[in-house]
């Protein structure tokens, strides 16, 4: 249990004992100096939560003492707000040295993360946890931050005058970011309190209900576990089993989490009280299990052998539940030292299978996992580490930086990344148009390496692309593989467009020379043994198809065209039927009625159609699903008339809307595609916005199949996003 210290500013001397527990005389003297330095500095000051800064500092240091942090770490906890209150930050370094000053400054830096962590979307939680670790050079900064958040939640629980929204915001942020970090670092003393206090603010009714169901106080549960450990230890000694036994009473949030995840009632949570038995060898595990079942009555169906059948994450242990002393349920876990080490520091660490989504996502970064394992071992072995600061900095060495967008979203990038990498990580087009950047509000060059916690804003041009200098490794503009790949793709696409344009120009010149400008490109492609016209353009531009081969194919194509013209009888072109009457037969014995195709929906055979008798303009023919027809039917249903398509030939005007990524030659490619389908385009309108092209084409088709072919060839074009009927 962490000691809570609440002091008047004049009682700084009384604060020393609880925060200096376990320290030698020189270290106690250091804390005494820190208290004397901080007391007048914090006098009358309060945090944004309303808590007095002095009381918060002393409570924070008490939390650090409870987890056994070293003297410099506790001193930095007392001085957490000093950088903000001192006019000259160098004064702190002069008074306490560079190590403590750096720790205090690191804590202040983490406080600035509240903009990113408050109200963040749940999918950002994992990267935010990594960011907290990635931003600091010393793990003690994270521990001070966890101790500080614990003290803040205690303040909220004792002072209920503040706004509820603030408490809920802090509680949600704690459960999303800080409690999982405490869990991963193995700081159990802080973890359970962070979770319970947050749960109390987020679900007050549930919290009270579970607290009432716990028919004993936490301290009483601890005494119960101590008694169970004593009994079990005695029986194991009789059986000559060497064992280390530890126990823990389950806290309220953990109980609720198990009830929720397993969908069980409180009476079915058998590990409200639990003990763990660690033995030397595997055979001792089963011997200890026999002792437990002989000592207490086992609960049916509550035994799991994860030694013979390990979990998918390699977790191994024996789990059983029994009716312990006094008729109360007790969970017992039995494992070897190696299994325990694997569970605590290896891939089977509790956080890997207890945190929602961690295991299922399958995205846990191996380097980050290794870093967490090292940090937890560092905490467990802190008494054996001679130079805490040096080891902590080594543990914190990371290959990732975490930077913020102007909206507070966090991006993780390779260490050494620049604003160009940041831009490409957000969006490829943003990277292409990147021309400048602001970091924390200040203009920087595009080759500036970014650091964790910085807020980056990209300045863009309306059009344009990347610079070739960005691919020069010596210039240092780009670090990430993604950015380098996207830049290369852009230049490759530009080269391909130039190649296609050059090939197209050569072919068109040859077609004009022999007078075959109407020749089909598909037919020419087949003559040359290729499938697509783009392949022909590229092959001609690269001289893979030489001029003689091209001329031969064009001559053959022209000869075949002439033969067809000789064989085909001369047919007088029929006069095109008026669009208003083309192929429409009005049902009801009134075939001679004047008809016109509605402009709002432009029906085409074999669309299902209906007629609407207008005043003075005959029958207006609509598609049955036309919104305009539905409105007319509601207001004047008596004017509706059945209609169907006749057998006559005709052409029909339709509209097609195209949305595509804007690029050079897009309009030309759409026009060529429609021309290949023998479609007569009568009007075209284009508009560009946000690097997208919005085009609307009006053209004539003979039937619905003709229209579908037009849609199909346009959809296949590069960059086309959506094609709809107008």
| Domain residue ranges of the chain, discontinuous segments joined by + | 9-202, 218-364, 400-479, 490-564, 584-645, 652-725
212 versus 300: which is more confidently predicted? 300
703 versus 321: which is more confidently predicted? 321
Q: What is the 3-state secondary structure (H, E, C) of 452-518?
A: CCCEEEEEECCCCCCCHHHHCHHHCCCCCHHHHHHHHHHHHHHHHHHHHHHHHHHHHHHHHHHCCCC
Exposed, middle or buried, 695 (CB in 10 Å: 0-12/13-18/19+)? buried
Pairing of strands 595-597, 619-623: parallel
Is residue 395 within 8 Å of 220, Cβ to Cβ?
no
Q: Is 241 helix (H, G, I), strand (E, B) or coil?
A: coil
Residues contacting 703, CB < 8 A, separation 6+: 604, 605, 606, 652
Sign (positive or negative) of CA dihedral 557, 562, 563, 569: positive
When pLDDT is cut at 50, 70 and 90, the band that residue 175 belongs to is: confident
| pLDDT computed for residue 477 by the predictor | 92
| pLDDT computed for residue 350 by the predictor | 47
Q: Among the listed ranges 494-498, 612-616, 668-672, which one has the minimum average pLDDT value?
A: 612-616
Tokens of 275: 């003990």
Residues contacting 353, CB < 8 A, separation 6+: 311, 313, 315, 359
| Whether the predicted pLDDT of 662 surpasses 90 | no
When pLDDT is cut at 50, 70 and 90, the band that residue 380 belongs to is: low
When pLDDT is cut at 50, 70 and 90, the band that residue 389 belongs to is: very low
Q: Please give the DSSP secondary-structure letter assigned to residue 47.
A: -
Most confident range, picked from 142-151, 250-259, 501-510: 142-151
| pLDDT computed for residue 583 by the predictor | 57
| pLDDT computed for residue 112 by the predictor | 61
| pLDDT computed for residue 216 by the predictor | 56
| Whether the predicted pLDDT of 407 surpasses 90 | no
331 versus 11: which is more confidently predicted? 331
**61-97 pLDDT, tens per residue?**
998 888 888 899 999 999 999 988 888 878 898 899 9
Is residue 609 within 8 Å of 645, Cβ to Cβ?
yes
Percent of the chain with pLDDT over 90: 20
Question: Distance (Å, rounded) from C-alpha 74 to C-alpha 34?
Answer: 9
| pLDDT computed for residue 566 by the predictor | 42
CATH number of 400-479: 3.10.20.30
Most confident range, picked from 175-189, 252-266, 376-390, 478-492: 478-492
Angle at 327 between CA 324 and CA 330, to 5 degrees: 35
Paired residues of 715 in beta bridges: none
* 447-455: average pLDDT: 86
| Whether the predicted pLDDT of 345 surpasses 60 | no
When pLDDT is cut at 50, 70 and 90, the band that residue 364 belongs to is: very low
| Whether the predicted pLDDT of 305 surpasses 90 | yes
Exposed, middle or buried, 501 (CB in 10 Å: 0-12/13-18/19+)? middle
When pLDDT is cut at 50, 70 and 90, the band that residue 569 belongs to is: very low
Percent of the chain with pLDDT over 70: 76
| Whether the predicted pLDDT of 370 surpasses 70 | no
| Whether the predicted pLDDT of 275 surpasses 70 | yes
656 versus 14: which is more confidently predicted? 656
| pLDDT computed for residue 267 by the predictor | 57
In the sheet where 273-279 sits, what is the strand order? 244-249, 273-279, 329-336, 318-323, 297-305
| Whether the predicted pLDDT of 244 surpasses 50 | yes
* Fold that domain 9-202 belongs to in CATH: Hypothetical protein af1432 (1.10.3210)
| pLDDT computed for residue 240 by the predictor | 92
Question: What class has domain 218-364?
Answer: alpha beta
When pLDDT is cut at 50, 70 and 90, the band that residue 496 belongs to is: confident
Question: How high is the mean pLDDT of the chain?
Answer: 78
- What kind and span of H or E run contains 285? helix 282-295
| pLDDT computed for residue 382 by the predictor | 45
Q: Closest Cα partner for 595 from 575, 574, 608, 609?
A: 609
When pLDDT is cut at 50, 70 and 90, the band that residue 3 belongs to is: very low
Q: CATH second-level architecture of 652-725?
A: 2-Layer Sandwich (3.30)
Q: Please give the DSSP secondary-structure letter assigned to residue 44.
A: T
Question: Distance (Å, rounded) from C-alpha 690 to C-alpha 703?
Answer: 35
Residue 230 preceded by cis peptide, ω within 30: no
290 versus 248: which is more confidently predicted? 290
Is residue 695 within 8 Å of 685, Cβ to Cβ?
yes
When pLDDT is cut at 50, 70 and 90, the band that residue 587 belongs to is: low
Q: Is 698 helix (H, G, I), strand (E, B) or coil?
A: strand
Tokens of 653: 């005007």
Question: Distance (Å, rounded) from C-alpha 426 to C-alpha 412?
Answer: 11
293 versus 642: which is more confidently predicted? 293
| DSSP string covering 162-216 | S-HHHHHHHHHHIIIIIHHHHHHTT-HHHHHHHHHHHHHHH-HHHHHHHHHHS-S
| pLDDT computed for residue 366 by the predictor | 60
| Whether the predicted pLDDT of 643 surpasses 90 | no
When pLDDT is cut at 50, 70 and 90, the band that residue 268 belongs to is: low
| pLDDT computed for residue 560 by the predictor | 58
Question: Distance (Å, rounded) from C-alpha 24 to C-alpha 31?
Answer: 11
* 26-41: average pLDDT: 91
Q: Closest Cα partner for 457 from 487, 430, 432?
A: 430
């Amino acid at each position: 249990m962490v000691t809570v210290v609440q002091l008047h500013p004049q009682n700084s001397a009384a604060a020393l004992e609880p925060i200096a527990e376990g320290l030698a005389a020189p270290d106690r003297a250091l804390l005494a100096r820190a208290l004397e330095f901080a007391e007048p500095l914090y006098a009358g000051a309060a945090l944004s939560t309303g808590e007095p800064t002095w009381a918060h500092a002393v409570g924070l240091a008490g939390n650090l003492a409870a987890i056994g942090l070293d003297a410099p770490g506790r001193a930095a906890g007392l001085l957490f707000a000093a950088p903000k209150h001192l006019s000259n930050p160098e004064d702190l370094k002069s008074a306490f040295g560079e190590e403590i000053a750096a720790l205090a400054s690191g804590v202040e830096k983490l406080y600035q993360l509240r903009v990113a962590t408050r109200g963040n979307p749940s999918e950002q939680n994992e990267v935010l946890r990594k960011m907290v670790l990635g931003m600091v050079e010393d793990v003690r900064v994270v521990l001070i931050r966890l101790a500080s958040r614990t003290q803040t939640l205690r303040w909220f629980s004792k002072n209920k005058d503040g706004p509820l929204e603030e408490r809920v915001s802090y509680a949600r942020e704690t459960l999303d970011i800080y409690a999982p970090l405490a869990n991963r670092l193995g700081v159990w003393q802080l973890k359970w309190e962070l979770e319970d206090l947050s749960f109390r603010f987020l679900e007050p009714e549930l919290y009270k209900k579970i607290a009432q169901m716990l028919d004993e106080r936490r301290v009483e549960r601890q005494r119960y576990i101590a008694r169970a450990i004593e009994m079990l230890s005695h029986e194991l000694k009789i059986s000559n089993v060497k064992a280390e036994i530890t126990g823990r009473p389950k806290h309220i949030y953990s109980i609720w989490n198990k009830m929720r995840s397993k969908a069980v009632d409180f009476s079915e949570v058998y590990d409200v009280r639990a003990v763990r038995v660690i033995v030397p060898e595997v055979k001792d595990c089963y011997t200890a299990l026999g002792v437990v079942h002989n000592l207490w009555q086992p609960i049916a169906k509550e035994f799991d052998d994860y030694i013979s059948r390990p979990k998918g994450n390699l977790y191994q242990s024996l789990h059983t539940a029994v009716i312990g002393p006094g008729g109360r349920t007790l969970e017992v876990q039995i494992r070897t030292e190696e299994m325990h080490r694997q569970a605590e520091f290896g891939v089977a660490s509790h956080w890997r299978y207890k945190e929602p989504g961690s295991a299922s996502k399958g995205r846990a970064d191996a380097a980050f996992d290794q870093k967490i394992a090292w940090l937890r071992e560092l905490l467990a072995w802190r008494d054996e580490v001679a130079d805490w600061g040096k080891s902590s900095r080594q543990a914190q060495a990371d290959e990732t930086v975490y930077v913020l967008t102007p909206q507070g979203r966090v991006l993780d990038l390779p260490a050494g990344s620049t604003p160009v990498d940041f831009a490409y990580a957000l969006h490829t087009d943003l990277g292409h148009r990147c021309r400048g950047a602001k970091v924390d509000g200040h203009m920087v060059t595009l080759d500036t390496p970014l650091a964790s916690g910085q807020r980056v804003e990209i300045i863009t041009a309306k059009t344009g692309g990347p610079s070739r200098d960005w691919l020069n490794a010596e210039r240092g503009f780009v670090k990430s593989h993604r950015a380098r790949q996207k830049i290369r793709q852009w230049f490759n696409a530009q080269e391909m467009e130039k190649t296609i344009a050059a090939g197209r120009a050569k072919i068109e010149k040859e077609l004009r020379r022999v007078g075959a400008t109407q020749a089909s490109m598909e037919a020419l492609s087949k003559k040359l043994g290729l499938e697509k016209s783009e392949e022909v353009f590229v092959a001609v531009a690269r001289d893979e198809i030489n001029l003689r081969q091209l001329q031969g194919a064009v001559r053959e194509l022209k000869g075949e065209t002439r033969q067809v013209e000789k064989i085909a009888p001369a047919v007088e072109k029929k006069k095109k039927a008026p669009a208003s009457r083309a192929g429409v037969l009005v049902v009801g014995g009134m075939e001679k009625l004047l008809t016109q195709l509605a402009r709002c929906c432009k029906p085409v055979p074999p669309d299902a159609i209906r007629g609407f008798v207008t005043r003075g303009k005959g029958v207006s023919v609509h598609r049955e699903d036309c919104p305009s027809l539905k409105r007319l039917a509601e207001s004047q249903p008596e004017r509706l008339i059945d209609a169907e398509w006749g057998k006559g030939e005709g052409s029909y005007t339709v509209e097609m809307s195209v949305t595509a990524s804007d690029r050079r030659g897009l309009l030309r490619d759409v026009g060529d595609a429609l021309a290949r389908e023998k479609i007569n385009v009568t009007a075209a309108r284009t508009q560009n916005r946000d690097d997208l092209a919005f085009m609307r084409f009006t053209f004539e088709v003979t039937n619905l199949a003709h229209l579908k072919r037009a849609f199909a060839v346009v959809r296949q074009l590069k960059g086309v996003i959506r094609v709809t009927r107008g």
